[in-house]
Structure 1
């Protein structure tokens, strides 16, 4: 891959591992690779545009030279019909020169046309490869983000399950149990104090009822 890109060679697992070993961010590095590829594509697009412009210029000059060849040929015929052999000879001499120039321009255009086709094919392949690597970059970035998230979660879970955390929970549990025990003891003391008072109140009430009943009974039998 990247056989057409001068700044980026390959993006494979070994390179990702190397990035991680160097504490480089794979997501940022992949974005940089894509920017480099985009820059290379832009350079090739510029070269293709210049080559096409040069090709068109050569084609126009070759066509113009060929048109002059045909023009001089007709002029030579016209001069011969007019009986002006000297003029016809001059036209034929210029025709020969134009033929040589047209031939050279045609060869140059054909070569330029081949070069343009090569650059077009190269550009098309670069763009296809860029799209493939863009998809791969998106996949690798998603995997990198997923790995980061899993690592963060694992570290969090590890911290939650650590001995220090467990000891902290145990201490808090002991405090809660202590609070509960203190609350129960306070309730028991309150209940005991309240029960003792209630017994004395009951005793006093019982004695009062007995005294009243005794007085009533004495009254009935005339002992009072």
Structure 2
């Protein structure tokens, strides 16, 4: 039972540490460290100022005590001199001189204490100033480190984002999209071409077909098309046969002058031949 609880506690502790590791941000931790250092620096500067104030006060008191000691000694000497000169009772002079020397002794004792305090304050001030300089230097180093960390963090985040985007690219899917696009464009081009053919067919007239048969351009006066030249050559080659046929028809007409005539078998064909004969005659006249 206890082993199971111990294992469960270990798993929970591991998960908690993992979560804390994920929450740890070097930049934020460095910023917090700098804030803590600045707080310590402020406290150190305040303590240094207080110690320096005590040091200055103690030094001033020491100077005052030294002066007082000197004054008491000088006063005792003057009292003794007055006693020797007779201007002061010797006993009174000795009493007052003894009192002055006693006061001097008290002042000297205080001077010794003040000197020790001044020495201690000197050491404290030197030590605190060293700590303050160390804190300032450390804050400067950490601020520079923070700038570097911020720059590295920015670069690493941008690189991670770019790599993530690149890793999610599916080359096969991209190629498939390109192929589908090519196929769609090809189908659209074919459809456009077919619509063009349909439009061309629906817009053709009999005149367009004739012009196409004549080589794409209509015949103009003074300029013979290739088709017209071929037609003239063909008609020229068949002209002797037509003349022979015409003479035979003349003879047949003479022989049947008694009134007998042959009726045309097809009125439409006769009309068409008549128009064609007129065209042929017109071409012969042009020649």
For normalisation by structure 2, the TM-score amounts to 0.60
1:107 maps to 2:116? yes
Q: Tell me whether 58-67 or 192-201 shows the greater mean CA deviation.
A: 192-201
Equivalent residue, structure 1, for 2:280: 214
Contact 1:30 1:137 in 2 (8 A): yes
Deviations 1:175-194 (A, max 9, x none): 33332332233334445556
Equivalent residue, structure 1, for 2:68: 68
Measured after TM superposition, the shift of residue 92 of structure 1 is 0.3
Two-structure CA RMSD over aligned residues (Å): 3.2
CA–CA distance in structure 1, aligned partners of residues 286 and 98 of structure 2: 181
Q: Tell me whether 121-130 or 18-27 shows the greater mean CA deviation.
A: 18-27
CA–CA distance in structure 1, aligned partners of residues 36 and 213 of structure 2: 101
Deviations 1:143-183 (A, max 9, x none): 11110111111123334446555544444443333323322
Gaps of 5+ in 1: 1-17
Contact 2:72 2:103 in 1 (8 A): yes
CA–CA distance in structure 2, aligned partners of residues 220 and 185 of structure 1: 45
Name the larger-Rg structure: 2
**SS of residue in 2 equivalent to 1:116:** helix
For normalisation by structure 1, the TM-score amounts to 0.75
Equivalent residue, structure 2, for 1:80: 80
Of 122, 147, 150, 2:131 maps to: 122
Equivalent runs, 1:60-209 vs 2, <5 Å: 60-83=60-83, 84-161=93-170, 164-191=173-200, 198-202=208-212
Q: Tell me whether 29-38 or 163-172 shows the greater mean CA deviation.
A: 163-172
Contact 1:19 1:26 in 2 (8 A): no
Query: Which has the bigger relative contact order, CA under 8 A and spacing at least 6?
Result: 1
Q: How many residues align?
A: 202
Measured after TM superposition, the shift of residue 56 of structure 1 is 0.6
Equivalent residue, structure 1, for 2:5: none
